[in-house]
Amino acid sequence: MSPAHDMMTKQGLTVVQSVGDLIDIVLRYNPQTNSALIREAYDFGEKMHEGQFRRSGEPYFTHPVAVAVILAEQQMDDATIITALLHDTIEDTKASYAEVEKRFGKVIAELVDGVTKLTNLQLSSTETRQAENFRKLFMATSRDLRVTLVKLADRLHNMRTIKSMKVEKQAQKARETMEIFAPLAGRMGMQWMREELEDLSFKVLNPEARASIMRRFVMLQRETGDVIEKITTDMHGELAKADITADVVGRAKKPYSIWRKMQEKDQGFSRLSDIYGFRVITATEADCYRVLGAIHQRWRAVPGRFKDYISQPKSNGYRSIHTTVSGRDGKRVEVQIRTREMHEVAETGVAAHWSYRDGQRVENRFAVDPVRWIAQITERLDEDHADEEFLEAVKLEMYTDQVFCFSPKGDVIKLPRGATPIDFAFAIHTRIGMACVGAKVDGMRVPLWTRLKNGQSVEIITAEGQTPQATWVDIAVTGRAKTAIRRSLREEDRERFIKLGTELARVAFENVGKRATDKALRTAAKALAIEDVDEMLARLGSAEITARSVVRAIYPDLQHHEGDEIDQDRAVVGLDADQARRRAPCCQPVPGERIVGITFRGQGVVVHAIDCPALVEYEEQPERWVDLRWQEGNHQAINTVTLDLTITNDAGVLGRICTLIGEQSANISDLNFIDRKPDYYRLLVDVDLRDAEHMHRVMTALEAESNVSSIARHRDPARAAQSARM
C-alpha cells in the first residue's frame, strides 16, 4: 500500500491545502493520472461552491476535497476522485447534469448524478418509503459500485466533522451511520472504514461510555507500559529465530469494539483480556503458516480461537489466519497473519479492484467483487416484488444474525434472529413487557410466539393488571426478556417457593447424613453464586435448581473416573527433559492454576503461581522466566497446600475437622496451632491435594461446618527466599 494509505489507516485524516497536494497523493500510486482533468474538476467545483459555507464556518468546498482525499488514499481511479470533487455540484449549485457531462464526460456525469440521488434518500426514515429507498440505494450500487464508495467517503467525512451540527441532527446521523453505512462498509470488505464509522457514531450516541473506556486505556498503559511495543518486539524476535521476514503491526482495539465485546460477554473492562490486536504481514502464503508455527511455539494458544480464512475465505474475499495467544502477563492478544495481497483486500475491500503497484494498475487475485452480491439481490427481486420484501432481503444479507423491527413511533429495535413480540416488548421497556397481552405485526394481530422478520412494524397491546405467564419463558429468546419473566414468576409466589425449597433442602441434606443449618445453606448459596439463602430456596422451590446441586455445592462426590493418574515426572509441561522442578513454598501452586517457572543455576526451575508476589523480584530478569502449564488430567493427591483455620474451642471440633477433610479424600500431612484462646483456636493445616478443584471442595466443606468461623488459603511471601536455598 502507498505511504498515503498507511497514513490514513493510522491517523484517519489527511488535509490538503491545494489541488497540487491532491494530485501529488494520486501521483504516488498512479503516475499515469490525468492531472489536468483533476485540476479542471477542482477549479469547477470550487467556483460552483463559491460563497457557500459549512456549519463550522469553513468554505463548503473543503468537504468535497476531503472526500476526494479519502478516496485517493484508497488508490481509486481518476473518475472516482473527480466524482468526489463534484458530488454536490448538481444538488447544491447551479451546475446541471448536462454541463457536467459536457465538461467531464458521460461516465463522471452519471456517477455524480448517482451520488446526488443517494444523498436525497432518507435511509433512516421509518416510514414506508424506507424500503423503496433501500431498493434505490442497491440498484444504484449495482450499476456502478463507485457511487456507493463516494457516498461512504462522504458519510465518513461528515461523521469526522459532525460536531458542527445541531445535537439532534448529530444523533440522527449517528444512528443512521451505525445501522446502515457502517455495516454496508463492512459487507464490502472495508473493515477500517466500518470500525471508524462505528466509533464516530459511538462517540455521539454514548459519549460517557466511550470516554470511560479511553480513561481505562490510559490507566492500563500507566500500569503496564507500552504493551504493544513489547509484544511487537517479542514477535520480531521469534520470527527472526525462525528466519522469517515479515512486518508486525500492533494496535489497541477501537473503543466501540471493546464496548460491544463488554456487552456481548457481560463483562467489565478489567475482565476483558483480548483488547490488543496484532497483524503479521508476510511475503508468501507458505510464510503465513510458518509464522503461525513460530507464534504457537512461543505462546500458548487459546482453545477455540483459531480460524483459517486462507484455506476457507470469507464470501467478500477476506483471507487471513486468526489465532489468540496468552502471553507471560496473562493478557490475551489476537494475531492475524496474511500476505501483502491479502492485507490489501482485508483493509480496503472492494477498493482493492483499483489497486496500483509500482505505478501500474494490477488485479488483486484475492479480491471478490461485491457487485456480484448486490447483483444477486437485485436479480432475485425484480420490480414485481414489494419494496418491503426487498428491504428484508437486503438486511438479511447485511445483518445475518439480527432482525430490525420498527416501533409505532418509528424507533428501530434490534433483536436476535428468532425473536418474538415478547422480546420486542421487553426491549422497549420492562414495564411494557410485563403488561403485554398481545401484538400486531404490520397491522395484523398475531400470536405472541410469532417469529419476527426484518423490517416489520410491531405494536404491543398492554393491559393493567397483566403479569407474565409461565409459558413465556419458552417463547422468549432474549436474555433480558427471560430474566424479567422468571423474576416476575418468582416474586409472584415467592413465599410459597421459599417454603417448598426449605423442605426440599432439609430432606436432601438428611439423605447424605448432614443438617441443612443456616450456615450450610449460606455456604451453598455462596458456592452457587446466588446472592442470598432466600433467593436460593426460591429457585429450589420453583425447580430452577435441584436439591442435589445444593448439596453437591458443599459435599460433592469426589470419585474420579477420568482414567489413570498423571505421572509426576510429566505433571508440568514446558520443561526440558532433564530439567528438575519444585513447587514454590511461598505460593504453593496446584494443578488448575496458571503457573510460571523461575530458573536457578544448578538447581532447576521453581514453579510459582502467576499471581505470586515473589515474582516481582525477577521482573528485571526475563531470561530466567519459563512459560509453564500443568498437564491436563487426573493428578495425584501430593500437592501440599496450607490452610489457615479459626475454629471454636469445643470438645470434638478438631476431630470433626479432620473427619471432614478425610471425607473429601484429602490427607493431612501436618497441623500447627499458632494461636490458642479460651473460646477459639487458630491453626495451620497442611493438606495434600490433587488440584485447584479438589482444594476448593475441601475449603467449601470446611466453610459449611458451623464450628469453623473462618478459613483461608495460607500464603507466606517470606518463604520465597527458601527457593534460592533449597
- Catalytic residue ranges: 91-92
d(CA 689, CA 711): 16
The residues that bridge with 406 in the sheet, in sequence order, are 412, 457
Residues 446 and 421 sit within 8 Å (Cβ to Cβ): yes
DSSP assignment of 646-702: EEE--TTHHHHHHHHHHHTT-EEEEEEEEEE-SSEEEEEEEEEESSHHHHHHHHHHH
Torsion of CA 70, 75, 80, 85, to 10 degrees: 40
Collapse the DSSP code of 361 into the 3-class scheme (helix H, G, I; strand E, B; otherwise coil) and give the result. strand
Q: Which amino acid makes up residue 558?
A: L
Q: Which amino acid makes up residue 25?
A: I
Q: Which amino acid makes up residue 17?
A: Q
Taking Cα atoms as reference points, which of 154, 352, 16 lies closest to residue 24? 16
C-alpha cell at 371: 457487485
d(CA 71, CA 81): 6
Q: Which amino acid makes up residue 4?
A: A
Residues 653 and 647 sit within 8 Å (Cβ to Cβ): yes
Residues 341 and 319 sit within 8 Å (Cβ to Cβ): no
- Pairing verdict, β 332-339 and 276-282: parallel
d(CA 119, CA 673): 81
Angle at 104 between CA 101 and CA 105, to 5 degrees: 55
Q: Which amino acid makes up residue 490?
A: R
C-alpha cell at 379: 436479480
d(CA 313, CA 345): 12
Q: Which residues contact 372 (CB under 8 A, 6 or more apart)?
A: none
d(CA 349, CA 421): 37
Q: Which residues contact 286 (CB under 8 A, 6 or more apart)?
A: none
Strand order in the sheet with 581-583: 581-583, 604-609, 595-600, 625-627
Angle at 149 between CA 143 and CA 150, to 5 degrees: 100
d(CA 381, CA 383): 7
d(CA 32, CA 20): 15
Q: Which residues contact 272 (CB under 8 A, 6 or more apart)?
A: 258, 261, 262, 265
117: left (phi over 0), alpha (psi -120 to 50) or beta: alpha
Q: How far is CA 77 from the centre of its chain?
A: 35
- Pairing verdict, β 321-326 and 300-301: antiparallel
176: left (phi over 0), alpha (psi -120 to 50) or beta: alpha
Collapse the DSSP code of 572 into the 3-class scheme (helix H, G, I; strand E, B; otherwise coil) and give the result. strand
Largest CA distance in the chain: 106
Residues 568 and 580 sit within 8 Å (Cβ to Cβ): no
* Distances, alpha carbon 292 to alpha carbons 288, 332, 574, in Å: 6, 16, 19
d(CA 675, CA 48): 91
d(CA 495, CA 497): 5
Residues 580 and 567 sit within 8 Å (Cβ to Cβ): no
Angle (deg, nearest 10), helices 97-104 and 78-86: 150
